[in-house]
A and B are shown apart, each in its own frame.
Chain A
């Protein structure tokens, strides 16, 4: 009973503000916001960059998560902890760190700029900021997912004649897919919601969170609410879509 009350409080605390936000923005104003080119561009840019960051995080996070789950090497726990750091540092700090690391005057930023890839104040900067804050979610999702696949399954596949890569691709990867997708989904959501690091690294072009903040500071709450409600609906829609289209609970152990 006490548990239900305490749990209920938390649900109210999470759902309440979101419901209040939608209540504050009648469908008409949300539709209007959706037709506003500035809002539309910002939302599209957000989805595009968040998706790009997630794809990169998944491509790089799967091998890393697998390694952390399977291989025992000196410092593997330390590395695991290190990779979780972006979750705990304030995001403006992340933005500043990224700027120092990828800016034109840094070694890496300099090389990339020569190759024609501008990071800071350009779209790749948005992706970099999103990647920085969301990659840990993919890595830990993948690590946990691979850790829950019994390594003996791969060993059986190996004795049945499969190569290490084949056993990974046919056994461990499919069995870990759900966990990896869950991590990727969280990472995507985390990217869409990012503000602090992006606003420092790439103020323009504006992603949705920056645009909403802009409108709030320049024109006040009423100007920010419709766009905010629209972003909420888009994020919610994508989450639901992935939950519905994603792999069903086929694996039982």
Chain B
């Protein structure tokens, strides 16, 4: 378990102002944030390399705020891997065990075990010059895991590898997580990592946690335009909310939330039926995966229906991003390539657009 309580620090150009965060035992937490948001500094603070000005760091209920890095039992993988250049691959891997006085045959067994899982067995007796990024990555990961740390900290582990290696590494990491059951905190600027790997995600911005929670929930329900923009959740529009009636909406999620009601969101270009919990100035998020697009008028159910023009079609694998415009407002929809083909959708076509009131996220 990793728990940060009101962690504040200042070092070099970075400043963290009151970070609260918890990753449960054997959980996989992600910290996501733009470059320069202090993600690496936060990891270094957890590892004990950067002192806090205030706050506490607890690992498995032990307060390690003041403990030296070598007492914290942490595995750390930097973005640049930082393998020891004057050692062989094997010497890199055993470095942590050599310090803990593990018996020699146990050390050999442990190194072989991880080398097999990470597919680096053939590299063990090499020097580290000339290794590919993916190989260095796996060696750095193995080196961190060999001494059985209670916490694994990963700093942009996939930043320097190509697309296919990234997929392989993600799978390896998922396997390792099952196998080693080590509590992991991973920092990244890649939303894909967050959605695929994490059981918890925290969005870091300006030295604070802008939002945290299960990745899918945070992605779909951002609480600020910054989070929505950064995660690429969809199109954020600014306008005002007017209440339609006082009926508490059936979609209210829990008793803790303020009552929600049917309302209308208005901008100069659009009027959308929404479910809201406040009136006045507001933002809405239109998620591309919730937007229906058709060449012909869509019937009945979705309450929000209007026409828009296609400004651009952008294909990425099997998914096509349809860029749409109504009035001066741009937004997007995701369609499959086959739908685009079947409907014969082209640039400049006028299309019917529909979305459910509950699919428009108000914040």
- Of the listed stretches B30-38, B81-89, B324-332, chain A binds B81-89
Contacts of B129 in A (CB 8 A): 252
Minimum C-beta distance from B146 to chain A (A): 9
Per-residue CB contact flags for chain B residues 65-88 toward chain A (1 = under 8 Å, else 0) read 000111011111010101011100
Closest A residue to B143 by CB, please name it. Answer: A160
B163 proximal to A (CB < 8 A): no
Contacts of B306 in A (CB 8 A): none
Docked pose: A166 CA to B99 CA in angstroms: 9
Partner of A251, one of B69, B74, B85: B85
Interface residues of B (CB under 8 A from A): 44, 47-49, 68-70, 72-76, 78, 80, 82, 84-86, 95-96, 99-100, 129, 143-144, 147, 149
Task: Verify B99–A251 contact, CB threshold 8 A.
Answer: no
Docked pose: A158 CA to B47 CA in angstroms: 9
Task: Verify A175–B95 contact, CB threshold 8 A.
Answer: no
Task: Verify A158–B86 contact, CB threshold 8 A.
Answer: no
Task: Verify A155–B84 contact, CB threshold 8 A.
Answer: no
Given A155-B44, A171-B84, is A161 in contact with B78 using a C-beta cutoff of 8 Å?
Answer: no
Partner of A161, one of B48, B82, B85, B147: B147
Task: Verify B70–A163 contact, CB threshold 8 A.
Answer: yes
- Interface contact tally, CB-CB below 8 A: 65
Task: Verify B47–A161 contact, CB threshold 8 A.
Answer: no
Task: Verify B99–A160 contact, CB threshold 8 A.
Answer: yes
A interface residues, tally (CB under 8 Å) = 20
Interface residues of A (CB under 8 A from B): 150, 152-153, 155-163, 166, 171, 174-175, 250-253
Contacts of B95 in A (CB 8 A): 157, 160, 162
Contacts of B48 in A (CB 8 A): 158-159
Closest A residue to B96 by CB, please name it. Answer: A160
Pairs A–B under 8 Å by Cβ, sample size 23: A152-B82, A153-B82, A155-B44, A155-B49, A156-B78, A158-B48, A158-B49, A159-B48, A159-B69, A159-B72, A159-B75, A160-B70, A160-B95, A160-B99, A160-B143, A161-B73, A161-B99, A161-B100, A161-B147, A163-B70, A171-B84, A251-B85, A252-B129
